[in-house]
Amino acid sequence: MLDVSGTRLLVLSALALLNACAGNGAGLDANGQPLGSGSAPPPPLTADFQSIQDNVFTPICVRCHGGAGAPQGLELDAAHSYALLVGVPSNEQSGLLRIKPGAPDSSYLVLKLEGAAGIVGVQMPFGGPPLPQSTIDVIRQWISDGAANSPAAAAVSSAAFAVTAISPAQEATVAAPLTRMVVAFNHELDASLVNDTTVHLEHLLGEAAEPAGPFGAELAEGNPRVLLITPRRALAAGRYRLTLRGNGGGALADVDARVLGDDYTREFTVDTTP
Ligand code: HEC
């Protein structure tokens, strides 16, 4: 028994090797990655968000762009990527959105994937190889079509209104100056409820805390489930706490007046730039 399966395994991996080395693109998927390297390969790349997540972001980007230490606070795992990309300004080029619905040429993510002139830092994926243009073209098409979330995720869920992601993450350390915080919800937020009693930003000094100064708050363009919080003066080195009030009168609620129910708190450190 053991021998037989051992032999089969050998044969299979030899085949996989042959395929991967064919040199003409055969045996490679849409991203130039060898076929058969994962257990259940996702369906081929199409111009919708779920497909781009499964074929590009998850297999290629998440190993760097994951967790509290993700570069530029950009987490690209399935739980965070849409909220942190669509309508959210780039950290490197704050005049550009990471993805601007309808406008691939002014979406910073596309410029980074194409290694366009004027990007800060290097072409993505960092260290290469670059994505094939055919893959980038599918991402361009999805953005041209409006950069919608996939139908399943976009459907208004009957689930209780909740926060799904906050950047910076709890206990993250980010480089000074911090210009923006991002809060993602599972439903569209009623922006009229955002004020300095429902959204608190504090500078922590030992046991004490003082307000971190005035900030602006707006919904991300084309992505009304995401709130962008922009301090009037970028946050200098220090420790900060962001609190969202989901209880009591005037608490944060979605557009159907379902209140958040819980308070959410994140504490993080802004580090001096070397
Ligand atoms: C090997 C690690 C690594 C991989 C893999 C990687 N990145 Fe990055 N990414 C970085 C680093 C480091 C930076 C910041 C420095 C820079 O831009 O050169 C960055 C920056 C970015 C930025 C700029 C964010 C902003 O707010 O300005 C984007 C967009 C980006 N990456 C997208 C991607 C995408 C999409 C992929 C997958 C196709 C990817 N990256 C794969 C390491 C990586």
- Of all protein residues, whose CA lies closest to atom 20 belonging to ligand 1? 71
What spacing in Å lies between the alpha carbon of 271 and ligand 1's midpoint? 20
User: Which of 124, 182, 273, when mutated, tests ligand 1's pocket best, judged by the most ligand atoms within 8 Å of its CB?
Assistant: 124
What is residue 161's predicted lDDT score, i.e. its pLDDT? 94
Ligand 1, closest atom to CA 93? Answer: 27
| Number of other residues whose CB lies within 10 A of the CB of residue 127 | 8
pLDDT digits (tens, 9 = 90+) for 27-41: 555 565 555 555 677
User: Which of 54, 56, 64, when mutated, tests ligand 1's pocket best, judged by the most ligand atoms within 8 Å of its CB?
Assistant: 64
Stated pTM of the model: 0.83
Which domains does the chain possess? 49-151 (no CATH), 158-271 (2.60.40.1220)
Cis bond leading into 129, ω under 30°?
Answer: yes
Question: pLDDT-based confidence at 7, cuts 50/70/90?
Answer: very low
Alpha-carbon gap, residue 265 to 201, rounded angstroms: 10
Alpha-carbon gap, residue 236 to 233, rounded angstroms: 9
Determine the average pLDDT of the residues in 75-92: 95
What is residue 156's predicted lDDT score, i.e. its pLDDT? 67
What spacing in Å lies between the alpha carbon of 59 and ligand 1's midpoint? 14
Question: pLDDT-based confidence at 26, cuts 50/70/90?
Answer: low
- Cβ contact 199:244 at 8 Å: yes
pLDDT digits (tens, 9 = 90+) for 86-98: 999 999 998 999 9
Buried b (16+ CB within 10 A) or exposed e, 8-22: eeeeeeeeeeeebee
Question: pLDDT-based confidence at 64, cuts 50/70/90?
Answer: very high
- Of all protein residues, whose CA lies closest to atom 43 belonging to ligand 1? 126
What is residue 182's predicted lDDT score, i.e. its pLDDT? 95
Residue 131 has pLDDT above 90, yes or no: yes
pLDDT digits (tens, 9 = 90+) for 139-191: 999 999 999 998 777 776 778 999 999 999 899 998 888 999 999 999 999 99
What is residue 42's predicted lDDT score, i.e. its pLDDT? 76
Ligand 1, closest atom to CA 119? Answer: 17
What is residue 31's predicted lDDT score, i.e. its pLDDT? 60
Residue 138 has pLDDT above 80, yes or no: yes
What is residue 274's predicted lDDT score, i.e. its pLDDT? 56
Average pLDDT, the chain: 86
